[in-house]
Chains A and B, each alone.
Chain A
Amino acid sequence: MSDTDPETGGDSDHVADERTESDGGNRGLSDRAAFWISAVLSLALAVGSVWLIGVRAIQFEALQRVRPTVEGGGVGAGWIQGNTKPALDWLITLIHFADVLMGVFILVMIFMHWIAFRRLAARMRPHGAPRRNSDAVATDGGERSDSASDTTCGGDAE
């Protein structure tokens, strides 16, 4: 992280995490408490929100389908178009606009990564090249054996 103090060993998130996640079992109590409090709060929120919808609704499910193409019809079959809430029409138009905008952007990103990956691949050693020597293990693993480093070549920045 760029906004941390290099004097204190850099990434403070990393420091916090090492404290929490070291193998020695020396987990910070605050993180453990945070985990369980979060679990309880979120379960309450999830149950509460579904419950809220449940008590407000008539308790039967008569409406199953959006597109009434399958035999017997579905949700839409008996429904006529005639939305009386213009705000909803407007929101749907907005989302369709966002769909197109994001779709085009996502396509650009896919092409860009595809090309960038090809450029990066061209720099790598071809498949037939001899296995890396022991120095090079450092580039994609650590001090462990080749088999271990093969399965752990991580290091992505996302």
Chain B
Amino acid sequence: MTSLDHGKFSRVTTMFHSLLALTVFLLFFTGYAVAFNDELWWLVELMGGNTGVLAVHRVAGFALIFLTAFWVFYMLLRAGGSVSLTAVLPTPGDVAAFVQDMKFAAGMADERHPNARQFAGYSADEIPLLSYVGKGVIAIFAVELLLLMVSGLLIWQKTMLIDFYNSQSVVIAFVAFHGALGVIMMMGVMFHTFEHGFHPAFYPVEMKAFLPKSDTPEYHGDAESESVTGIERLRLKPSWGWVTNVMGVLTIIGVVSILLASMSYGGYPISQTIVFGEGSLLRTVGINIGVLVLFIGLFLSMYGNVLRARYMRQRRQEARTAATDGGRTDD
């Protein structure tokens, strides 16, 4: 009997998640350097100017097509794939979980709904594979990634579109569509960073996304504590409070700034005239804060892999030590 459900990701999932994160972050850094280059000019310069930025953007775009296609094929072809597919479909319980989360935040509920549970102190069969937020992330990403990849491919060679439509403005419309669509994803990734990096029980990273469940130790004892989450027994890290407050503020500023900037630029990312009356300091600061949040997200994603490597090394050392004591090594 497992009273905890540590580790939900398989080895392939952890690798896919890390590679997808790296790819998407690269696409954000390059794509937003282009879209908001008044505000993120330093990012353009850092990546080798416009040619460099677009080259990196396209290499990452290619990787994104490869990774998502791989994931879809793998999910469909592998044994038990259909189970994974049903696990991502929303259920009425997910709506209830959202409502209960609102109540929990307002102090009107004592616990978070099992479908919202990040801290899994309950028995494994009480906890769904994905929380309602996780399901939402997958659903939104699936639609967005598909649209982003198709529109991205279409504007890959703009001359092709110009040829096809006999109009430059149509091409810019495709670019605008592509960019505005990316805004939703960028805001979502900022939220994702905050949500998974700053849960008090997991801060600063949730290892379950990096350590496959086959390598995660699980406690198989009696189930005396099943009705409680067990969070009372955990110690809060000393820096959690202020770091989380700072990150919360930065995430809010980042999301609002990106949103407002995408609005104030209007429907098209080019101006009506060549002369610009831009240069809003507030917007520049806000968008750069948003990019900072993304950098922290990228850092945490890499840090999770560092922790995994450290943990696996520790385990190998322990196995070796055990062998010299007369035990046997499995590997």
Contacts and interface: CB of A to CB of B under 8 A. Distances in A.
A88 B170 contact: yes
B141 interface: no
A140 B104 contact: no
A157 B274 contact: no
Contacts of A76: 172, 269-271
B130, B190, B211, B234 — most chain A CB neighbours (10 Å): B234
Nearest to B114: A157
Interface in B158-206: 158-160, 163, 165, 167-177, 179-181, 183-184, 187-188, 190-191, 194-196, 198-202, 206
A126 B233 CA distance: 10
Contacts of B73: 34, 37-38, 41-42
A74 to B, nearest CB: 7
Contacts of A56: 157, 160
Given A13-B83, A95-B181, A45 B233 contact: no
A93 B268 CA distance: 10
Interface residues of A, number: 120
B327 interface: no
Given A154-B6, A154-B211, A4 B83 contact: yes
B70 A39 contact: yes
Contacts, number: 412
A157 B127 contact: yes
Dominant secondary structure of chain B at its interface with chain A: helix
A124 B235 contact: yes
Interface in B98-126: 101-102, 104-107, 112, 114-121, 124-125
Interface residues of B, number: 155
A40 B68 CA distance: 13
Nearest to A139: B230
B42 interface: no
Interface in A44-65: 45-46, 49-50, 53-54, 56-58, 60-65
A49 B153 contact: yes
A119 B142 CA distance: 32
Nearest to A41: B73
Contact of A148 (B131, B160, B251, B314): B314
Interface of A: 1-4, 6, 10-24, 28, 30-31, 33-35, 37-39, 41-43, 45-46, 49-50, 53-54, 56-58, 60-70, 73-85, 88-89, 91-93, 95-96, 98-100, 102-103, 106-107, 109-121, 123-127, 129, 131-132, 136-144, 147-149, 151-158
Given A42-B65, A66-B37, A126-B236, 11 more contacts: A28-B79, A70-B37, A79-B270, A96-B267, A106-B191, A120-B201, A131-B235, A138-B4, A151-B310, A153-B234, A156-B118
Ordered nearest first, which 9 A-B pairs have the shortest CB separation?
A142-B217, A57-B157, A154-B208, A158-B134, A76-B270, A57-B160, A42-B69, A16-B80, A21-B214
25 contacts: A2-B91, A13-B129, A45-B66, A49-B65, A53-B156, A57-B163, A63-B158, A65-B37, A67-B38, A80-B169, A84-B169, A85-B165, A85-B170, A92-B176, A99-B184, A100-B259, A100-B263, A103-B183, A109-B191, A112-B101, A115-B105, A121-B200, A121-B240, A152-B216, A155-B119
